[in-house]
Amino acid sequence: CAWLVTVADGKVVRFEGDPHHPLTRGELCPRMSGYPDDVTFNPDRILHPLRRTGKKGEGRFERVSWDEALGEVAGRLKKIVAEHGPTAVLPYSYAGTEGLVQMDALSSRFFARLGASRLERNVCGSAGYEGVAATLGTGLGMLPQDAAWSRLVVVWGANPAVTNAHGWPFILEAKKKGARLVVIDPLRSRTAEEAHWHVRPRPGTDAALALGMMHVIVRDSLHDADYVERYTLGFDRLKPRLAEYPPERVARITGLPASEIEELGRAYATTRPAAIRTLIGMEHHANGAMAFRTIACLPALTGAWRERGGGLLHLTFNLFDGVLNRAEFDVADRIEDKTIRSINMVQIGRALTDAKLDPPLRALLVYNSNP
């Protein structure tokens, strides 16, 4: 989002979304709208280093100087590295500040130079992104504003009315112009309240639903055979797989009526342009990445990518790669030793208590995150 920040006497006195920015359009998402008071000037914000004086969990600390704090941390890290090696140190961070410089640019260089254990930062977004990229070659897709041109918008496993303040208006614009809004979600979300049609499969059965839709589309020759021939790979292997997922079987898996699966497949294939909007929710299942990978096949099968307003819209952070000098931020990637062990952040508890880990983790540096 783009901000307009007014400062008086060294303090932010007004904080608002830029009304002239094409995506922000004067609106900030709920977590950013009160950022100065909620975070920057919050009376509970800690402004000085504190050293624990009691037992862990007692909450007793004393204030120390920055020189003392930095010296002690650096000294203990040097001792750990000398005794156990640099991989006994692990950084733990994610997207707390959501700013490129604060989030990663310098810290990643420090840990790369140190030779610390590497952290797989994939607690959120990674599985869905990899699933989409496995099909499309990229996790990008449609531009958010192109959804306004759609005649059918399928919001799949997402609640953008709440979680995507800057993308949701384009879906509402399409709806205002006559587009049909379909929401696929087990829950009756705020987005579902806006839908013309709410499809409610069992949680975790999204890939089966997508296969059932594709079964109907191919069976009834509703796919774009020319597009498939020109621009896709693997249809010869997909087709026999689809034969295993007729609507009757998918109905048993998803809990949906077979007639609804039939209707959804035909509606998607015969309405142009048709957009699918995904976010992150579906990835929180054991087969999460495969759900996204399967759903991403749909717009290729129907040739939805031919038209503006057709295709799949997923995460948009890749859009910044082309406009920012990412080389300045990717220094760590160039200097990092890829042979050093990597620890998955979602298994941090296991890693910290693993007696077989050699060397064991002796230091955990947590920033921009709250494990």
pLDDT digits (tens, 9 = 90+) for 266-314: 999 999 999 999 999 999 888 999 999 999 999 999 999 999 999 999 9
DSSP SS3 for 271: coil
With beta carbons less than 8 A apart as the criterion, state whether 35 and 15 touch: yes
For residue 33, what are its two tokens? 């709208």
pLDDT single digits (tens) 221-247? 999 999 999 999 999 999 999 999 999
Q: Which residue has the higher pLDDT, 108 or 329?
A: 108
Name the pairing type of β-strands 3-8 and 11-17. Answer: antiparallel
Q: What is the pLDDT of residue 328?
A: 58
Q: pTM for this structure? A: 0.90
Q: Which two tokens stand for residue 102?
A: 């604060």
